[in-house]
Amino acid sequence: MAAQQRTNYCNGEWVESESTETFTVTNPADQSVIAEFPKSTAADAERAVQAAVDAQDAWANTPGPERGAILRRAAGLLEDRADDVAETLTREEGKALAEASGEVQRAVDILYYYAEKASDLAGDAKAPSGRDSRLRTVTEPVGVVGLITPWNYPIAIPTWKAAPALAAGNAVVLKPASQAPTVVHELTKCLDEAGLPDGVFNVVTGSGSEVGGTITSHEAIDAISFTGSSAVGEIVRDSASETGARIQLEMGGKNPAVVTSSADIDEAVDIVGSGAFGVTGQACTATSRAIVHESVYEEFVDGLVEYAENLEIGPGLEADMGPQVTESELEGTLEYIEVGNEEGATLETGGGVPDLDADGHYVEPTVFSDVESSMTIAQEEIFGPVVSVIPVSDFDEAVAIANDSQYGLSASVITDDLSQANRFVDDVEAGVVKINEKTTGLELHVPFGGMKNSSSETWREQGDAGLDFFTTSKTVYLNY
């Protein structure tokens, strides 16, 4: 069957790229073709930016409740199509269907959430110091925004960036990841059918250097929100500094889960296992390091090995753990496993390609023990289902090793000791801290972001913090 031909979305229309070149999106479970997308040019990105510029003032002047009503209609449309969109997500990205369904529902919930928030963006009244006067603030959109999103949450992350941007009255240009852009098109269809005005939301597919580079360096872009690798994030930061655009960068992670001597080990195994192997380990918040007190170390390792070996690997429509998204991602994971062996860590289970009757990018869930914090597999982000188990002799050592990383995104402690739980919250260097919960999984109404090389440490995403990034304010003094 011929691949479905997709186009860009610009100024309220599905339009052909100026380029005749395309790229193919394939199912990582079996290499079947999902669709073909335009390998767009800088001119295509320029056209999308101009459409957003032309639409910006009218959208900013649209009453907040009216903007919210459009987001609410889009949420309902996406909710009606959730099963089909989830299956599409699994086919193009690879994650298990239950995980894909949860992600699509998250996008629905985000749209509903910001639909309501759109009515509350007028500003605040303040008490003036003098008589016969009024003092207030006025909230306004920042302008035209560029969004660059990753493949691992290909509908949730675009939605949690686009929804607050649109709710606040900004016009948007979005470049989705080339590995999994199809579900962004499904989101776009919902926004279009919900009545979003022409030019307010634009989608351009293509390379990061050509399309992404045009967006991030464009003088008309007022703010840039990026999620992806730290290396690319630094390029985005440098580009934005040339134009003065506001930036929001969410990047890598090397997330620790500390297991204390008081922890319920069965619970700890479930928490670490789901955090490490869920979504095939392809999450910036995935649990990558288990830092375990020596008194429960062997019991924990045995339990985690059993957890990994009981996972069913296969196509995401059928199994517990699907493939990695591309061959290059699989090769990168296998290279890190080889490095772990060479550096002297003990490979407890996994480490190879499973023997499956499928031509996909599969890797076994992998557990290393006897890992030292200085080892490469304990320092560099792997972005695959690999967890390093590190023994420690006390709680202070555990926290020190948790902080021994260039990253600081998410961290967890599993303990029945209230004192240690609170000390962990105080001392760990992470933007998201969890007690007796896995490092993955986020509530949509609270801030999300990291520290150190995990983030620009400027504005957080989600909740009211997500709106802060996409708005600016005026202070109004009235003397009557």
Residue 293 and residue 235 share a domain: no
Q: Would residue 216 count as lying in a domain?
A: yes
Residue 319 and residue 200 share a domain: no
Distance from first CA to last CA of the chain, Å, rounded? 72
Q: What's the average model confidence in pLDDT over 456-464?
A: 94
Q: What's the average model confidence in pLDDT over 433-454?
A: 97
Residue 475 and residue 368 share a domain: no
The domain of 387 spans 255-435
Q: What's the average model confidence in pLDDT over 296-312?
A: 98
Residue 348 and residue 376 share a domain: yes
Q: What's the average model confidence in pLDDT over 210-234?
A: 95
Residue 462 and residue 328 share a domain: no
Model pLDDT for residues 24-73, shown as the tens digit of each residue: 999 999 999 999 999 999 999 999 999 999 999 999 999 999 999 999 99
* pLDDT band, very low/low/confident/very high, at 1 (cuts 50, 70, 90): very low
* pLDDT band, very low/low/confident/very high, at 357 (cuts 50, 70, 90): confident
Report the share of the chain in percent with pLDDT over 90. 96
Query: Average pLDDT over the chain, rounded to whole?
Result: 96
Residue 102 and residue 22 share a domain: yes
Q: Would residue 268 count as lying in a domain?
A: yes
Q: Would residue 304 count as lying in a domain?
A: yes
Q: Would residue 446 count as lying in a domain?
A: no
What is the predicted pLDDT for the residue at 15?
97
Residue 266 and residue 225 share a domain: no
> For residues 259-271, b (16+ Cβ closer than 10 Å) or e, as one string?
bbbbbebeebbbb
The CATH number covering residue 411 comes to 3.40.309.10
- 209 has a pLDDT exceeding 60: yes
Residue 357 and residue 242 share a domain: no
User: Which positions are annotated as active-site residues?
Assistant: 250
What is the predicted pLDDT for the residue at 2?
55
- 134 has a pLDDT exceeding 90: yes
Q: Would residue 327 count as lying in a domain?
A: yes
Residue 170 and residue 316 share a domain: no
Q: Would residue 442 count as lying in a domain?
A: no
Total domain count, the chain:
2
Residue 188 and residue 214 share a domain: yes
Q: Would residue 405 count as lying in a domain?
A: yes
* pLDDT band, very low/low/confident/very high, at 3 (cuts 50, 70, 90): low
Residue 215 and residue 268 share a domain: no
* pLDDT band, very low/low/confident/very high, at 359 (cuts 50, 70, 90): confident
- 336 has a pLDDT exceeding 80: yes
Q: Would residue 443 count as lying in a domain?
A: no
Residue 214 and residue 316 share a domain: no
* pLDDT band, very low/low/confident/very high, at 358 (cuts 50, 70, 90): confident
The CATH number covering residue 71 comes to 3.40.605.10
